[in-house]
Structures are given as structure tokens and as C-alpha cells.
A and B are shown apart, each in its own frame.
Chain A
Amino acid sequence: MRRTVLVCCGTGCLASGSIEVAEALQKELAPDVIIHGVEDACFVKKTGCNGFCENGPIVRIMPDDISYYKVRAKDASAIAKSLETNEPVLRLLYRTGGKAVLSQRENPFYSPQIKIALRNIGEIDPADINDYISRGGYTALKQALGMEPQDIIAQVEASGLRGRGGAGFPTGTKWRYAAGYEPTPKYVIANGDEGDPGAFMDRSILEGDPHSVIEGMAICAIAIGSSTGFLYIRDEYSLALANIEKAIQDAEDAGFLGESIIGSSKSLKLSIVRGGGAFVCGESTALMASIEGRVGEPRAKYIRSVQRGIWDLPTVLNNVETFANIPVIIRDGAENFAKLGTEKSKGTKVFALVGKVKRTGLVEIPMGVTLRHLIFDIGGGVIDDMPFKAVQTGGPSGGVIPENMLDLPVDFDTLTEYGAMMGSGGMIVMDSTNCMVEVARYYTAFLADESCGRCTPCREGLRQMLMILTDICEGRGREGDIELLEEIGSTLVDASLCALGKSAPNPVLTTIRYFRSEYEAHIRDKVCEAGVCPELASFAVDPVKCTGCTLCELTCPVGAVSGKQKEIYTIDSKVCITCGACRQACRFDAVVAIPRRR
């Protein structure tokens, strides 16, 4: 039987050696052609990211739909043999609840997912335009060429699609505005800057299905009357850059881009611009300044980019994931898309589920499913079954949501209402060993460094907030600090120049809103219950985990650890300076933080 062996070659699997796996498989399967002839031979295909990178490299056998995880090059012969014998390689299957599963459809990480933006990723070879075409690619573009621009826009409006880059602005409305302004030329820009450190959905799309973004941009260009576009892509994304560059070339050669698209009077020239390397460069006006060759700093948006964007001309800027949804909306109809999701948030959203959760990775689910479903059913719950504490959503300037709100539906408006936000779709799960004040301090420090630093509230406000939070974490918190943080925060929300400053207080304001007592414990009792802030916690040895290896005793710079080899060690809290050296050194996680009482 003719089979395709799909080897995941996304950034994650490449890092765990998938190229070697692909080469080994190729070598094993090469004689196949001679034995069975081209018609019946098995072929190896390199795909984009399957989203479950921690279990990579992932190999999938089609059409059998068997997925293997953590595959090594040495497993190639076993896999090749299984293709002959039709007996799956049991040891490489995913196990859940003691049961091994063959198909991704039986894997709890994948089974609840509905893939629209990620529809082709893992299925096709991103370097082969014919693979994209064979799955219905570029049919939407052909359809769009036969439509009136306002009908294309009406379809996008009817789909209810909202921007996936953070703010959730209705995409159709944006296009309609841009189409309505007189001046030309107009521009189409894809935002692939992805500055949120934990997120990788845009990278995955650019790497694994670049043509879907190109097709989406081309449809937008036809709708608004533009013939020039840019893809602004984060500089570190080398594989994404390479794949999108090839895809543009191939699309031009095939007549989907360039002069006279598919023989029509429309044209579109796309160029790649490498990102400026700062988080703030992902903000729309900063991004446009950066493409223009100026410093990537935001401007006030009292006049919107759809009217005066890049070079003061009408511009549509959409996120990579937003564009990837467009071909499906045009091809399968707006109603089909709008069937998924909630009343005001239609379709699906890709999330990067990370942190203290058992199954981490990229997950595409319909809008409106609960956080609980996402974290506990798909993610499998908290690592080591520790108590769940909070989930941080929306990237560095998102907010935290506590346990009693796990049944909230995940959509733009609900998350915003509760002080968090959809943002790029980052979801970081936190357990009882995460200190909420430290979490707020961490993000505030990131934003204080990454803001452009132009406007007073953002620059000076974050400076003072960071100082106060650091004081609280280090035991110098004072009465009134919480209220002062709230007052500075509310000024940033209203008075900052751009959305970075306006959203920057979210981590602080939500942790105060939901975990105020934790702040109070730090300030009044000088206690960090989570045992994270060294000045406010002490360390102890967990007698169950300690093996008596002596490493802690040897590491402690002040001789606070005592005990005998092969027996349980103890830490003298009066001597301990809570430097954390023993905790770092211990190979058995036996040194645990406990609240420090004074």
C-alpha cells in the first residue's frame, strides 16, 4: 500500500533531532520504490509543527493515521518494518490512562481540537505549493477574483472574524474602512512579529503553512484594492523566514502572486521585512514606522492606520493567524465559520498552552470553551497534580485568572471583562508554587524594559511599579503600596500613548484583584506562602524525597544543612540565608520552600 510518512520538522522537533529521523526513514524506505514501484512505495514528507513539541520528534503514518512520539533515528528500521507487517510500533505510541493510542483523534490533546488556522500544518510539506493546492489551497483566491470587492468584505464581516493579534478588532470592518478611503496606493501587512515570549502560533503557521497567509493577504489586497504587501516577521524566526520566502517565490511562479494574478487584472507584490527585535515593534504603528525605516516607536492612533497607515496611506494590518483564516471563510462560506464560537467571538483560536500543565503545546479550539476544558481536559491538568492556582493569559501584558473562574468561556470579551485578555493566545498555567506578587513583578520588569519609553506614564509608571513590587518581594513592602500600585496602574490605563502602556498594568491589577491577600501577607506578615521570594521564605528538606546524597550540605555556603550520608538532612532556618543554592543543587527536588515566620 502506498503510504506517506509525515515527519514533523517544526522548530521544536528539529531541535530534538527530527532531521536525522527523516533521513534515517528515507534511507530505510528508499528500496521501497525498487521493490514495490513508485505507485506503491512509501514516501517521507517533512511537515510543520504538530503542536505537541514536548513529545517530538513526531512521525505520522498516513493513511493509517498512526502517530509516533519521541522518535529517534534508530527507530527508523522498526517503523519501516511496521509498514511491511502492518503491526504498529507499540513503544512509540502515545499513552494515556495506561492505554496506547494510534490516531491523534484518540489522543486527548488532539481530539477536542478543531483546526481551521492550523488546518494544513502537519499534513503538508510547507515547501511544496502542490501539497497546499491539493488540500484546496488557492481555490478561495480564484473565487475572490470572481467576486466584487464589497462582496468579499461582506463575507469576512458576516463570518464575525476578529483579529487574532490581540485587540480583537472585527477584520471585515477594518477592510471596509480601508477600502473606503480614496488615496492610493494602499497596503496590506501581515504581523508576524510575535513578541510574546511564550507564544509560537504565528511561527508555526508561517513555518508549516505559509501559503495560507499569502492567500489570505492576496484576498485582502483584492478586497481593498492594494497591490503591495509586507510580511513583518520576527528576526529570530529563521525557518519561518526561509519557508515564507520560498512560498512567495513559488506562488509568483504559479501565477498566484505578482503581475496579473491567475490571469486577472489584479496584482500583488509581497516582500518580507525582518522585525526590529523589540516587543513594542509588534504594535501596529511601531511596526509601520519600522517598515518605513524609522525607529520602531508607536504613535497616537487618533487617526487610524486604515486611513493613514504606512507612508500615511490606507493600510490593513492583520495578524498572521487572522490571514490564515481568510481562505477558509471565502471557500467554505461565512456561515460555516460563524457556526463555531460564541455570539461575539466567532471561529477558533490557537493557544500556546504552557507552564505547570501536563500536556503543553499549540491548541486550536472553538472560542467559548471553558478554561477548565482547555487546561484539564486538553492539557491534562496540573503537573504532579499540584493545586491549580491561576492561569496567565494574553502574553506579558495579560492578566491572571484564578481557580474559581475556570468555568469562564474563553473569548475576547469575557477575558477582557475579567481584567485578563486574549492577546496573542498565550496561556501559562500556574500552581501553588507560583507567587502572584513575583509573577506581577516579572511581567512588569519585562514591560519596563520593552516599552518604547517615550511617554511618561508608561516609562516612569512602570519604573516606580517595578521598584514597589521588588520591594514587596524582598520584604520592604509598606502599607499603602497596594493602593499606590492601583493608582499608578489606572493612570497608565488611561493616559499612556499606546496599547502597551494601556495594558501594561494588567498583571499587577489582576493579581491584586484576585490575590490581594497574598500581597498583604508579603507586606504585613513578611511571608511568601508560595515560597518563591527568598527573603520571605525558608527552605526545608522533604523527608520523603531526600536520599541523603550530601549534595545540599556540600553546597550550602553557610553550613546551615546538616545530616549524615544516606539519612535525611535538615536545614537550620536560623543559619540559612535562603540563597536557594541547595534547592538548585538537589537532584531530587527534596529542598522545598516553606513560609518564613518571624
Chain B
Amino acid sequence: MVITIDGIECECEYGEFLRDIATRCEIEIPALCNHGGLPGQGCCRVCIVEVEIKGWKTVVASCIYPVEQECIVYTNSDKIKRQRAMVLSLMRARAPASKEIELLCSKFGASRNERFIEQEGEKCILCGLCAKTCESIGSGAISTINRGINKDVSTPYDEPSEACLGCGACSEICPTSAIEMEEQGSLRKIWGKAFDLVSCEVCGKPYATTQELDRNAKVLGEPASRLCDVCRRKAIADVLAKTFGS
């Protein structure tokens, strides 16, 4: 199947997500709540585009819109530019402390609207990726709570969570660096809880929390590696070199 995006003809499969097709054809559509490994959240709405089918135009979220028939796509029509800018302005008022959002705003012509109330100091745009990640790891230590304008991301009752392993995956995936993870020596602090870090037996660098390693060991059914990622890869390479090498 072939669809047209911004005048460019793009080859695609039935059911492929529109933004994936665009990305392959080097057409850039911004995205915040869509991350390779996870199902699209479809909630930030910065990836909106206009799709025209049989003369009918509709606005869709390209990250989760499956292409099922031939269509013409506009990623930068006047309407989309205006609405994307509005979505970004709204987001900026929500998360005025986020550098990432500020950058995106200037890139897409979204000015700071002084009429909006701003949530001072906030960085979180409530995309939900952190909670999804935590859930997919199997911890489920954080989740979105409440609804409507009171929505938030938090541990149960805002208390340090039993289930949290301190792995920091949420902090890593966050598109706006909103989840604070503090590291001092062999101590990591995240979600109001402190974790001891285990140091790599080779380079001595702290690389994971005890809880994380225990969980990995349980899942794998064998003792977890005592090496950090870099040293472990190096060790494997060394073994390979010894076995097959010169």
C-alpha cells in the first residue's frame, strides 16, 4: 500500500502506525508519550496530523493511528500547526520547569501564554510512560492516581513503595526528566526511598540496587552478575577472544 504524507509517497503495510511510516520516510512528527518498547499511550497529542480519506479530513494521533486504507496525510497544515501549538502551550503551562517542553515549544512556534495558570516548578506532563514501564517490569510501584485535572503519578498513598526496586527505569524513560533520582556514593534515592547500590567487582562503580539484583536473580533462576554492564560485556569479549582469538 502507498500513502501520501506531506506530498511524499510512502510505502507501508496494512495496519502500520502512521508515525512509524513517517519516521521511516524521514518525515518528522514530534512525540512525547510514545516509546519504542511500549504500546503507544496516545495521550500527549503532540503527534497529531490530519488524515484525508475520500475527501474527509480528520485529526488523529499519528503514533497510534493504524493505516488501513489509502490516505493523504498532512503533518503541518495550518490547522495542525495551530492545534499542536495550543497543545504545547497547554503543556508548557502544566510543566513550566521542563527544558524539553520549552525546546519543543520554540521549535513548533508555541509561545508561552501569559493568560494560563502555570504549575510552578512542575516538569511532569502526565504522559504515563513511567507507570507503564514500571508495570511492564513487573513492579507496579507507581501508577497514575485520581482523574481529571487532579490526575497525578505517585506511589500508593504517596508513601515510599514496598514494590519499588529503585531500578530507575521510570526516571530513564521520562521524556521531561521529571522523576528525580539522586545518587551519592553507594546510595540512590528515588520516590522517597533510599537504596544501597552494589559496586562492580571489576571497576568498582556502583551499578544497581540490591533489590534489583535480587529480583533479577529470582527471575533468571541463577545468581545475578556481579559486574556492571560495561565490565560484563568486556568480560564476555575477553572470554570469546581467549576461546576463538589469536
Contacts and interface: CB of A to CB of B under 8 A. Distances in A.
Contacts of A447: 148
A456 B45 contact: yes
B245 to A, nearest CB: 51
Interface centre among A278, A462, A464, A487 (most CB of B within 10 A): A464
Contacts of A302: 60, 64-66
B3 interface: no
B128 interface: yes
A462 B148 contact: yes
Contacts of B167: none
Interface centre among B115, B144, B146, B150 (most CB of A within 10 A): B115
Contacts of B42: 299-300, 455, 497
Contacts, number: 114
A242 interface: no
Given A299-B42, A468-B115, A459 B86 contact: no
A460 B116 CA distance: 10
Nearest to A297: B147
Contacts of A484: 113, 115
Contacts of B233: none
Contacts of B241: none
Contact of B147 (A452, A480, A488): A452
Nearest to B40: A300
Given A299-B42, A468-B115, A454 B151 contact: yes
Nearest to B128: A454
B150 A453 contact: yes
A32 interface: no
A495 B149 contact: no
A466 B82 CA distance: 21
A480 B151 CA distance: 29
A466 B149 CA distance: 10
Interface centre among B79, B83, B115, B148 (most CB of A within 10 A): B148
Nearest to A487: B86
Contacts of A295: 144
A456 B90 contact: yes
A573 to B, nearest CB: 31
A457 B87 contact: yes
A207 B233 CA distance: 68
Interface residues of A, number: 39
A467 B45 contact: no
B93 A464 contact: yes
Nearest to B65: A302
A461 B115 contact: no
A455 B43 contact: yes
Nearest to A454: B43
Interface centre among B82, B86, B115 (most CB of A within 10 A): B86
B139 to A, nearest CB: 17
Contacts of B149: 448-449, 451, 453, 459, 462-463, 466
Interface in B125-172: 125-126, 128, 144, 146-151
A468 B48 CA distance: 25
Interface in A142-197: none
Contact of B116 (A280, A453, A464): A464
Interface in A418-466: 447-457, 459-464, 466
A462 B149 CA distance: 8
Contacts of B61: 300, 497
A460 B115 contact: no
Given A303-B66, A454-B128, A461 B90 contact: yes
A535 interface: no
B86 A491 contact: yes
Contacts of A495: 45, 48, 59, 83, 86-87
Interface in B72-104: 79, 82-83, 86-87, 90-91, 93-94
Contacts of A491: 82-83, 86-87, 90
A481 interface: yes
B91 A456 contact: yes
A449 B148 CA distance: 5
Contacts of A480: 115
Contacts of A462: 148-149
B204 to A, nearest CB: 44
Contact of B125 (A448, A449, A456, A481): A456
A450 B148 contact: yes
A95 interface: no
Contact of A450 (B87, B126, B147): B147
B220 interface: no
Nearest to A471: B115
B90 A453 contact: no
Interface centre among A295, A478, A495 (most CB of B within 10 A): A495
Nearest to B66: A302
A455 B93 CA distance: 15
Contacts of B59: 494-495
Contacts of A457: 45, 86-87, 90
20 contacts: A295-B144, A303-B66, A451-B149, A453-B147, A454-B144, A456-B91, A456-B94, A459-B126, A459-B148, A460-B93, A462-B149, A478-B115, A484-B113, A488-B86, A488-B90, A491-B82, A495-B45, A495-B59, A495-B83, A495-B87
Top-3 shortest CB links A-B = A453-B151, A460-B90, A494-B59
Given A453-B148, A454-B41, 9 more contacts: A300-B42, A300-B61, A300-B64, A456-B46, A459-B148, A462-B149, A478-B115, A491-B86, A497-B45
Interface of B: 41-46, 48, 59-61, 64-66, 79, 82-83, 86-87, 90-91, 93-94, 113, 115-117, 125-126, 128, 144, 146-151
